[in-house]
Structure 1
Amino acid sequence: MTKLDRHNKILKIIKEKDIENQEELVNELQKEGFIVTQATISRDIKELKLVKILSSDGKRYKYSTRDVNENITLDKFLSLLSKVIVDVDYSGNIIAIKTLSGAASSAAEAIDELNWSEIVGTIAGNNTIFVLVDKDDNVKEVIDRLKKIVDTQMGENIKKLS
């Protein structure tokens, strides 16, 4: 059996079962007729870019593909944004976001992870984030999209700086 066959089987196994460690994965592959060592599995895990995430019971960690983890991370970032944004102002192509004290850095990372093409970058302090938008014309669109994430918490707090 080829490396590709083994990689496909690994992906199938981790999708169907909570595999906590490399030894379990070796055993599962051997049950399927693959002759593998722990060293081979270690390389496969790196090549497949598998990550460990909390299992559904919340008591153990299991192997998962990165894309599943990215969805979980994105959900966490969206949840974070909805909880920490207090106020949003803008001037020109810069959006100033006020957050709860100490939350700006995490919120800026969450905004960066959104990968919105209009956002050039973010700078965070303790409770303030500056978001640089590529064009003045895109600022309102970015704010509207942030409003959808934050929903009612942002409400009437958006105003144009003088």
Structure 2
Amino acid sequence: MPAAHETRQQRQQAIRQILASQPVSKQSELVRLLRERGIAATQSSVSRDLRQLGIAKLGSAWAETATDAPADNPPPPDDFVRGVAAAGPHLTVIRTAIGAASRVGVFLDRSGWPEIVGTISGDDTIFVATASAAQQRRLIARIRAHFEF
């Protein structure tokens, strides 16, 4: 029986091969394709693998977000942010170009910005949680200064 890290490495290698050879729009589809190759996978393991590999949903398919950069520091997606607004004292809403929210969300998750507690990305919208209203104000100022929109 292979060690857990060997299984993970095989699964991650297969994920890259699959995504390089065909568009995949859902994690459940990726799980099915892995199983067809004889590789054990669950939605949660695939989700972790995608995050570790720096792969995010861009538009309607999964793709690597930064192929020439280290996975923990993808290039900033400066051209995709369209606006930012407060939604209550702890929630910030960021609007992006259609299909770009996941890429911007990955950037925010990896940015290390202390104001960010967590993010949820949709297709063109990101919800960013902050611990306080003061942190939210700092985050909005940082986003406006960092992204050109």
What TM-score comes out, normalization by structure 1 length?
A: 0.46
Higher gyration radius (CA): 1
Structure showing the higher helix proportion among its residues:
1
Q: TM-score, normalization: structure 2?
A: 0.49
